[in-house]
Chains A and B, each alone.
Chain A
Amino acid sequence: EPEVTQTPSHQVTQMGQEVILRCVPISNHLYFYWYRQILGQKVEFLVSFYNNEISEKSEIFDDQFSVERPDGSNFTLKIRSTKLEDSAMYFCASSGLFANEQFFGPGTRLTVL
């Protein structure tokens, strides 16, 4: 069964460093998303992406964040200068054309020291 994959599973970084989280969505899906879950809090939406551009972004998704689909398979989330409060699980998700369900990857645990 096709699934969303994410790498790395765990990323530790120093405050102020740049990180890139990678995702491979399900191959025939067209919509891509990033969500995050800070420990003990809700899963919260960051950004959606379709047709090589951002469809919607949340207040959290400020200028420090960017997304890219560099090739036909990868979808990346870049945080330019990480802060302590960026420590969270980051989930990538994808959905197909006219599909209502979003399918999630296993997540990347980001720890900012």
Chain B
Amino acid sequence: DQQVKQNSPSLSVQEGRISILNCDYTNSMFDYFLWYKKYPAEGPTFLISISSIKDKNEDGRFTVFLNKSAKHLSLHIVPSQPGDSAVYFCAARSGGTSYGKLTFGQGTILTVHP
């Protein structure tokens, strides 16, 4: 299932700089997109989301951008902090219902160096 793809397995960033994590999707029926952060031996933690009718959503240091024509979304973290080091998953919801299933990308390992 390649409907949601995160092409970068890992990203390394210096503390204080911007982290940009990318995600591509193929299914035009996806109506809602979410980013989750995951530490080892823990479940995914919800970070930020965006509806398909918007192109940007911001929450503190985290901003998600959606480019529907390119079927691409990105998560910007600025400034990056060492505590942001984790695996980041992009997920997309289908079905147009509140309880639609999520389809996940493979994840990107972010390492923020002090």
For A97, the chain B residues whose CB sits under 8 A away are: 98
For B44, the chain A residues whose CB sits under 8 A away are: 43, 91, 104
B101 lies within 8 A of A33 (CB): yes
B85 interfacial by beta-carbon distance below 8 Å: no
B99 lies within 8 A of A31 (CB): yes
Instruction: Compute how far the CA of A14 lies from the CA of B35 in the bound complex, rounded to whole angstroms.
Output: 36
B25 interfacial by beta-carbon distance below 8 Å: no
A104 lies within 8 A of B45 (CB): yes
Q: How many A-B residue pairs have CB under 8 A?
A: 66
A105 interfacial by beta-carbon distance below 8 Å: yes
Instruction: Compute how far the CA of A1 lies from the CA of B103 in the bound complex, rounded to whole angstroms.
Output: 26
B42 lies within 8 A of A99 (CB): no
A58 interfacial by beta-carbon distance below 8 Å: yes
Q: 28 A-B pairs, CB-CB below 8 angstroms?
A: A4-B43, A31-B99, A33-B99, A42-B1, A43-B44, A43-B89, A43-B91, A43-B102, A43-B104, A48-B99, A48-B100, A48-B101, A55-B99, A56-B100, A56-B101, A58-B101, A93-B43, A100-B34, A100-B49, A101-B49, A102-B34, A102-B46, A102-B102, A103-B46, A104-B36, A104-B44, A104-B45, A106-B41
For A4, the chain B residues whose CB sits under 8 A away are: 43
Within B1-30, the residues touching A (CB, 8 Å) are 1
* A25-59 near B? 1/0 per residue, CB < 8 Å: 00000010101000000111100101000011010
For A31, the chain B residues whose CB sits under 8 A away are: 98-99
Interface size of B by CB at 8 A reads: 26
Chain A interface category by residue count: 20 to 34
Instruction: Compute how far the CA of A31 lies from the CA of B91 in the bound complex, rounded to whole angstroms.
Output: 17
A104 lies within 8 A of B99 (CB): no
For B63, the chain A residues whose CB sits under 8 A away are: none
B88 interfacial by beta-carbon distance below 8 Å: no
